[in-house]
């Protein structure tokens, strides 16, 4: 069968979610066309003759961008079997059905896609947490890594590869899109598959690897085995990972190994510096835990890249000012992507946030176009600040301003006094990926 796998956006990464099922489908004898519409043209000719067209929806932005593409695809080839897979496929199943998608796959998707292509009976809604024996991702036909995000480090830009050593997560953070699908479970990709995928990407020019696991330390022994193997084979290739504050403290003995094996930075979803908000989000860490993690990273000379949800129904103007002041005090201004200081809490379909009375009382209904429940803050000044922060970040990023310049512009939104000694503070040049979004 002719199969087309389509992605729309994945934060500037070459999509693992296309390359992995491509390997399975090609092994089964199918002709597969891959198109990442963030860098590729719409594959009109391939779609016109395809029997199966599948849309990879790993995130909110990708899903919004996919909506008009699905409609265009159905008009071009009304007889094709349409499928959506990935975390946000399950979350937005009702919308996808209205668009004409026949099969929605959540969780582990490779085996179900092969079954669909083979004409086997597959339920319209598949939610699989099956333990799979993965194939080495097949990136044949994908855009070169040079067209994707790069790592800014030591005054140069390095081509970046992307892989995953696990899916799902052991934790139940209330706002996380992984939770409704995996419900506190995770699945590993076999180490030999991960290393082979890295090997192929290094051969294609990658000098840095991003591990896209929701939490790299869900299986710490598995994770360390992979980075040690990678470092032995490619000692000059760096990498980055995402790890919870809770896990960084629990497995602090592993931090020297991350440093030794070439970890350029660790992303951690701190989300808030307010313990009450962290409890509502069920993050399982506190402000004190964050402060201890910062100290540990300084001790081991590791770079921390925290992410935040700056604006929630519980944010105050004083709390936002405290967030900025804390980042300056801990020398995390250059390590924090500017957009992280302007993000608004996303309340998606089926989100566990809807369990909270102080969320359900603030929402005004589900916006099917934006794919979120709209909410307003009890204090209009906070909504105004959120709008101003987002406009400020967007405008200054378009002007290629530095993270420090954008940070100071945000500070000026909430204070008429300069940050004390800010101009004299040393600021660490933290490595970072030059793709600005994280949602």
DSSP 218: S
| Distance (Å, whole) CA 330 – CA 105 | 43
| Banded model confidence at residue 427, pLDDT cuts 50, 70, 90 | low
The proportion of the chain whose per-residue pLDDT surpasses 90, expressed as a percent, equals 89
pLDDT at 365 over 90: no
Query: Could you read off the pLDDT of 213-256 as tens digits, one per residue?
Result: 999 999 999 999 999 999 999 999 999 999 999 999 999 999 99
438: pLDDT confidence band, cut at 50, 70 and 90?
Answer: low
Q: How far apart are CA 48 and CA 125, in angstroms?
A: 25
In whole angstroms, give the CA distance from residue 340 to residue 396: 14
The whole-chain average pLDDT of the chain stands at: 95
Determine if the pTM surpasses 0.85.
yes
Tell me if 323 sits within 8 A of 341, measured CB to CB.
Answer: yes
Q: Is pLDDT above 80 for 439?
A: no
Residue 423 DSSP code: G
Span 281-333, pLDDT tens digits: 999 999 999 999 999 999 999 999 999 999 999 999 999 999 999 999 999 99
More reliable by pLDDT, 423 or 196:
196
- The pLDDT of residue 17 is 97
Q: Is the pLDDT of residue 143 over 60?
A: yes
pLDDT band at 437 (very low <50, low <70, confident <90, very high): low
pLDDT band at 426; cut points 50, 70, 90: low
Backbone angles phi, psi at 105, to 5 degrees: -120, 120
Residue range 160-202, pLDDT digits in tens: 999 999 999 999 999 988 988 898 999 999 999 999 999 999 9
Q: Which residue has the higher pLDDT, 349 or 107?
A: 107
Tell me which long-range contacts 382-390 makes (C-beta under 8 A, separation of at least 24). Answer: 382/311, 382/315, 382/316, 382/317, 382/320, 385/311, 385/317, 385/320, 385/413, 385/414, 386/310, 386/311, 386/315, 386/342, 386/344, 388/413, 389/310, 389/311, 389/320, 389/341, 389/342, 389/413, 390/342, 390/344
The answer for residues whose C-beta is within 8 angstroms of residue 203's C-beta and 6 or more apart is none
Over the stretch 114-133, which tens digit does the pLDDT of each residue have? 999 999 999 999 988 999 99
Q: What pLDDT is recorded for position 425?
A: 65
| Coil/strand/helix, residue 7 | strand
What is the predicted pLDDT for the residue at 234? 98
């Amino acid at each position: 069968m002719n199969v087309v796998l389509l992605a729309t956006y994945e934060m500037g990464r070459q999509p693992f979610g296309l390359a992995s099922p491509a390997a399975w489908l090609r092994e089964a004898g199918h002709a597969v066309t891959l198109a990442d519409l963030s860098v590729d043209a719409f594959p009109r000719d391939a779609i016109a003759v395809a029997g199966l067209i599948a849309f990879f929806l790993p995130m909110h932005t990708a899903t919004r961008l996919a909506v008009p593409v699905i409609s265009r695809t159905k008009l071009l080839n009304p007889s094709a079997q349409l499928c959506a897979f990935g975390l946000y496929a399950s979350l937005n199943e009702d919308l996808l059905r209205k668009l004409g998608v026949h099969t929605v796959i959540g969780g582990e998707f490779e085996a179900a896609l092969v079954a669909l292509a083979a004409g086997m009976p597959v339920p319209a809604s598949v939610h699989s947490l099956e333990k799979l024996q993965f194939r080495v991702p097949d990136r044949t036909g994908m855009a070169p890594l040079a067209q994707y995000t790069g790592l800014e480090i030591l005054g140069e830009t390095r081509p970046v590869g992307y892989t995953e050593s696990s899916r799902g997560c052991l934790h139940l953070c209330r706002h996380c899109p992984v939770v409704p699908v995996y419900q506190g479970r995770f699945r590993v990709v076999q180490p030999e598959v991960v290393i082979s995928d890295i090997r192929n990407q290094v051969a294609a020019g990658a000098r840095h690897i991003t591990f896209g696991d929701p939490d790299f330390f869900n299986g710490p022994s598995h994770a360390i085995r992979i980075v040690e193997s990678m470092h032995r084979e490619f000692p000059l290739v760096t990498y980055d990972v995402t790890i919870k504050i809770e896990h960084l403290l629990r497995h602090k003995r592993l931090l020297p190994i991350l440093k030794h094996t070439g970890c350029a930075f660790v992303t951690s979803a701190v989300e808030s510096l307010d313990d009450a908000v962290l409890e509502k989000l069920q993050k399982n860490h506190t402000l004190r835990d964050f402060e201890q993690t910062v100290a540990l990273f300084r001790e081991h000379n590791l770079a921390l890249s925290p992410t935040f949800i700056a604006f929630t129904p519980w944010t105050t103007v004083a709390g936002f000012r405290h967030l900025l002041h804390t980042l300056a005090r801990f020398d995390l201004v250059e390590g924090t992507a500017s957009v992280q200081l302007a993000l608004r809490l996303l309340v998606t379909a089926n989100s566990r946030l809807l369990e909270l009375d102080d969320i359900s009382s603030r929402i005004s209904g589900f916006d099917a176009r934006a794919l979120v429940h709209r909410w307003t803050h009890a204090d209009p000044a906070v909504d105004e600040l959120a709008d101003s922060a987002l406009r400020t970040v967007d405008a200054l990023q378009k002007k290629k301003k530095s993270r420090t310049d954008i940070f100071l512009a945000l500070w000026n939104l909430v204070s008429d006094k300069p940050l004390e000694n800010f101009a004299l503070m040393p600021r660490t040049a933290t490595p970072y990926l030059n793709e600005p979004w994280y949602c």
